[in-house]
């Protein structure tokens, strides 16, 4: 029998609970030995769930690192801007770390973390869970087989639904670089640019150019006579697609839970929801057009790779529905797919066939099961422990150095955007 890995969870939010929950399903892999969070209600909830003693519960990483090491690894799910500041002392203390993405909010932080990992000889793995989704995993296998030849161009886009956009990126905590530490491209799309870099494999980027702006969520786009607060002073509320009352109370979707979580009530009644959104200082009921949005709501990137191939990525916030699309053109064929449909088509150049091509559908629904991350949340945790045990990790495994490529693409894209779209060298 192999002893389960002892793990401390730092930042016990929604993402951390998903990863930590795997300890209940796979106690042979790991156990939760400690908890770090400034929110004592979260600590208490996790403490009861995972049977963690009081002596192993802490408010800060400083408190944790002040005591002798009592576990093997840490799952770090703090806010983006805290990732490097909290991970470096953990590495120096002797812990290996599974770190939520994005692992850094700028190039200087990224370089500092990489240096520390090298100096301490500790393992840092990044939670790029979409690599593990059957959809992208199968595409990577086909590219590796050479079936569609050498990649000429890879096009990707992410449609961020108007619901998710309003909750997280206009009214929520990711709307402000001062709070989350980064813009929307890094906080929302580091998954996507990591996927592009991973699919291109050793073919590194050469130049990056990007443009984007706040197009929709500005005062000029507000409905006529719109107020500043949906539930208190807005005569246009009933006809507004972004009405907080309509989106979060009358027609809630899965992102609505984030609102109640951030408001400090886990399971509010209908009356409590109305009361919370009626409070003047509740950010989730502000008019989306009058939030003073400081991050872009749409952005496009053009990448030139070292062998002459090109890649494009577009993020569009406020779409009717969420969606990730991909179209890869190779010298022998192409791959076209939509992540949410759980399938993609492979088209091959065949002059001898009617229409000059043959095609097939690759359906991954049996494995993906409609999961938002294609079951990647669970797979990344299991791969982390394989890595710690010196077992063969999967080809999806994202080490810190490996993840640097996609992050650097984001940093350079932001630099280019700020320069008005000027191309910058990788």
Mean pLDDT of 159-166: 96
Tell me the pLDDT tens digit for each residue of 91-111.
999 999 999 999 999 999 999
**Predicted pLDDT at 369:** 74
- Compute the mean pLDDT over every residue in the chain, rounded to the nearest whole number: 94
- C-alpha 401/C-alpha 407 separation (Å) is 10
Per-residue pLDDT of 170-188, as tens digits, reads: 999 889 888 777 889 999 9
pLDDT at 28: 92
> Per residue in 23-77, pLDDT tens?
999 999 999 999 999 999 899 999 999 999 999 999 999 999 999 999 999 999 9
Q: What is the pLDDT of residue 265?
A: 81
The whole-number pLDDT of residue 194 equals 96
Taking residues 110-123, report their average pLDDT: 98
Q: Is the pLDDT of residue 1 over 60?
A: no
Give mean pLDDT, residues 155-160.
97
How many CB atoms are closer than 10 A to CB 185? Answer: 26
Q: Which of 156-165, 180-189, 225-234, 240-249 has the lowest mean pLDDT?
A: 180-189
Q: Kindly state the average pLDDT of the residues 214-240.
A: 96
Report the alpha-carbon distance of residue 70 to residue 354 in Å, rounded: 66
Alpha helices by DSSP H, listed for 174-240, are 177-180, 184-200
Token pair of 212, please?
Answer: 């984007």
What is the pLDDT confidence band of residue 148, given thresholds at 50, 70 and 90? Answer: very high
Taking residues 224-237, report their average pLDDT.
95
Per-residue pLDDT averaged across 408-417, rounded? 97
Confirm if 293 and 287 have CB atoms less than 8 A apart.
Answer: no
Read out DSSP for 81-143?
GGHHHHHHHHHHHT-EEEEPSPS-SSHHHHHHHHHHHHHHT--EEE--GGGGSHHHHHHHHHH
For 360-377, the pLDDT digits (tens) are 999 999 988 777 677 788
Do the beta carbons of residue 272 and residue 265 sit within 8 Å? yes
Has residue 2 got a pLDDT over 90? no
Stretch 276-285: mean pLDDT: 93
CA distance readout (Å), 325 to 111, 139, 337: 31, 13, 6
Q: How far is CA 112 from CA 70, 106, 108, 218, in A?
A: 26, 10, 6, 37
Examine the pLDDT at 144 and tell me if it is beyond 80.
yes
H/E stretch holding 349? strand 343-349
| Alpha carbons 118 and 291: distance in angstroms, whole number | 42
pLDDT-derived band at 230 (thresholds 50, 70, 90) equals: very high
Is residue 315 scored above 90 in pLDDT?
yes
pLDDT class of 258 with cuts at 50, 70, 90: confident
């Amino acid at each position: 029998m192999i002893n389960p890995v002892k793990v401390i969870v730092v930042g016990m939010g929604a993402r951390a609970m998903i990863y930590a929950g795997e300890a209940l399903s796979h106690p042979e892999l790991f156990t939760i030995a400690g908890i770090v969070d400034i929110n004592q209600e979260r600590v208490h909830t996790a403490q009861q769930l995972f049977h963690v003693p009081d002596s192993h519960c802490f408010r800060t990483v400083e408190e944790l690192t002040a005591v002798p090491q009592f576990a093997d690894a840490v799952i770090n799910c703090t806010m983006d801007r805290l990732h490097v500041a909290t991970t470096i002392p953990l590495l120096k203390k002797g812990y290996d770390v599974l770190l939520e993405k994005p692992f850094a909010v700028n190039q200087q932080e990224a370089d500092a973390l990489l240096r520390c990992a090298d100096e301490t000889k500790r393992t840092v793995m990044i939670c790029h869970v979409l690599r593990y989704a059957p959809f992208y995993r199968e595409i990577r296998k086909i590219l590796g087989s050479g079936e569609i030849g050498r990649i000429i161009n890879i096009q990707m886009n992410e449609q961020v639904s108007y619901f998710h956009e309003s909750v997280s990126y206009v009214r929520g905590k990711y709307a402000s670089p001062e709070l989350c530490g980064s813009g929307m491209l890094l906080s929302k799309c580091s998954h996507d640019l990591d996927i592009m870099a991973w699919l291109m494999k050793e073919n590194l980027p050469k130049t990056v150019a990007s443009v984007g702006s706040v197009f929709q969520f500005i005062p000029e786009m507000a409905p006529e006579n719109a107020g500043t607060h949906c539930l208190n002073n807005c005569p246009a509320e009933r006809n507004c697609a972004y009405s907080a009352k309509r989106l979060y109370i009358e027609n809630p979707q899965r992102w609505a839970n984030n609102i109640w979580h951030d408001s400090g009530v886990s399971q509010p009644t209908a009356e409590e929801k109305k009361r919370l959104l009626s409070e003047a200082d509740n950010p989730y009921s502000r008019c989306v057009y009058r939030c003073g949005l400081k991050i872009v709501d749409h952005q496009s990137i053009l990448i030139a790779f070292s062998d002459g191939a090109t890649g494009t990525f577009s993020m569009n916030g406020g779409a009717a529905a969420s969606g990730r699309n991909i179209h890869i053109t190779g010298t022998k064929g192409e791959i076209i797919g939509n992540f949410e449909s759980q399938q993609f088509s492979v088209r091959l150049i065949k002059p001898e066939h009617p229409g000059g091509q043959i095609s097939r559908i690759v359906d991954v629904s049996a494995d993906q099961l409609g999961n938002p991350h294609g079951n990647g949340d669970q797979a990344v945790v299991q791969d982390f422990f394989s890595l710690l045990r010196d077992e063969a990790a999967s080809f999806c495994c994202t080490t810190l150095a490996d993840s640097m490529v996609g992050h650097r693409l984001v940093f350079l894209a932001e630099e280019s955007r700020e320069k008005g779209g000027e191309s910058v060298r990788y």
